[in-house]
Amino acid sequence: MRDIILYIGSIFLPDKSAGAQRALSLSKSFRDLGYKTVIVGMSSEQDRNIPVLKTKAFCKGFETFSVPQPKSIPQWFHHTVSVKEFKEVVDYYGYERIYAIVAMEYEAIPLWRLSGYCKKRGIHLIADAEEWYEKSNLRFPMNIAKDFDTGLRMKYIYPKKIDCMICISRFFENYYKGIVKNTVYVPGTIDKDEEKWQKVNKYKPNDVFTIGYAGHPGLKFEKERLDLLISAVLELNSEGKKCRLKIAGLDREFLENHLPNININESVECLGKIPHTDCLNMIAESDFSAIIREDKRVTKAGFPTKFSESFGCGTPVIATKSSNIFEYIKDGETGICCDGYSKAAIKQGILKAMSFSPDELAVIHQKMRDDNPLEYRRFTSDIKSFFETINI
């Protein structure tokens, strides 16, 4: 009986990476459909001499294993060509029990090797596509290897070696539909019944309108235009429209070094790196969160984890057009859509958000917590249909 799904990738459990949240949410859907899901993730602290089967543990009710995060060029080379550890986990359970291996953003060469391995054993190999990386900023020669891997995986391995794909965005769904035989769209989701969402702080309107931001925008703000968001907040305050921006993940020194021409005052509060639970509480307590991204391939292909998390906190989002998040933003109900990527457009978005009364904001937050369109159960039936299709 093939009753096990093996989920593999750079998954830092329980909540140390965006991939961890996605892996757990999808695994819950698999479990709800009757499959035992085993996650093989990665650990930054793990001793390289420990065999993978000795790392067996449990997370959120799932059996897990882990491989050590590579920290040298030889280790990275091994990671990008070897499937040894994953075969050991398959052997542990018996390949005749493995229904599918779901590979999240898995490197091209081992994915290629896994495709042949799975075909010989009647195992479905499913790619979980969640990123299309831009040109790498890693040091030489890692940057060359990373760019080669991305190109090979996206333009050859996925179209030629993969029959089944879970797509995190409409971009991926549309790009690979008709190329990959079986696809299903599942965005970033959350489990509203998970303890962390039940414990997140309740919202109370702030005395000063507060926007929450979490994450790292990139050294040149290439991932997110936090620089434009900061400028917009500072200008609004200088015009007498008082608002505040709270930033988790960065300290003030970073902003002063990377935005030397902007005089950052007390309207921008840097919290530095804080625990994930504290970050969620900050977002939950904010009137709105903000995701300011340019509409380019890397943002179209992905789906912001922070968007799903903001919805999980019940906090509406001020956003620019990226990915397909506008499917879930009902203007004035779950967020505000900025009309473009300029500072002026962001200012107008903030002003629109500031126009809600405290009572209206409280109602918006409560409605979002009660009826979250990104709750994982909403997509389980789509995954069921996907499995039925690949079984034909």
Distance CA 164, CA 74 (A): 31
- Sheet of 124-129, strand order: 57-59, 62-68, 36-43, 4-9, 98-104, 124-129, 164-167, 182-185
pLDDT average, residue stretch 66-77: 84
Q: Please write the tens of the pLDDT for every residue from 247-297.
A: 999 999 999 898 888 888 999 999 999 999 999 999 999 999 999 998 888
pLDDT recorded at residue 140: 66
- Decide which of 3.40.50.2000, 3.40.50.1100, 3.40.50.620, 3.40.50.720 is the CATH code for 195-370: 3.40.50.2000
Q: The whole model's pTM is what?
A: 0.93
- Residue 243 pairs with which residues in a beta bridge? 209
Give the per-residue pLDDT at 69: 86
Mean pLDDT of 48-61: 93
- Name the average pLDDT for the chain: 92
- pLDDT tens track for 161-193: 999 999 999 999 999 998 999 999 999 999 999
- CATH, domain 4-186+375-390, list 3.40.50.2000, 3.40.605.10, 3.30.365.10, 3.40.50.970: 3.40.50.2000
Rounded mean pLDDT, 101-124: 94
Contact partners, residue 205, CB within 8 Å, separation at least 6: 287, 358, 359, 361, 362
List every span in the chain annotated with CATH 3.40.50.2000.
4-186+375-390, 195-370
Where helices occur in 38-153 by DSSP H, the ranges are: 73-79, 84-93, 108-121, 142-152
- The 10s digit of each residue's pLDDT in 3-33 is 999 999 989 998 777 889 999 999 999 999 9
Cα(335)–Cα(285) distance, integer angstroms: 15
Mean pLDDT of 48-65: 94
DSSP string, 179-232: TBSEEEE--S-B-TTSHHHHHSPPP---SSEEEEEES---TTS-S--HHHHHHH
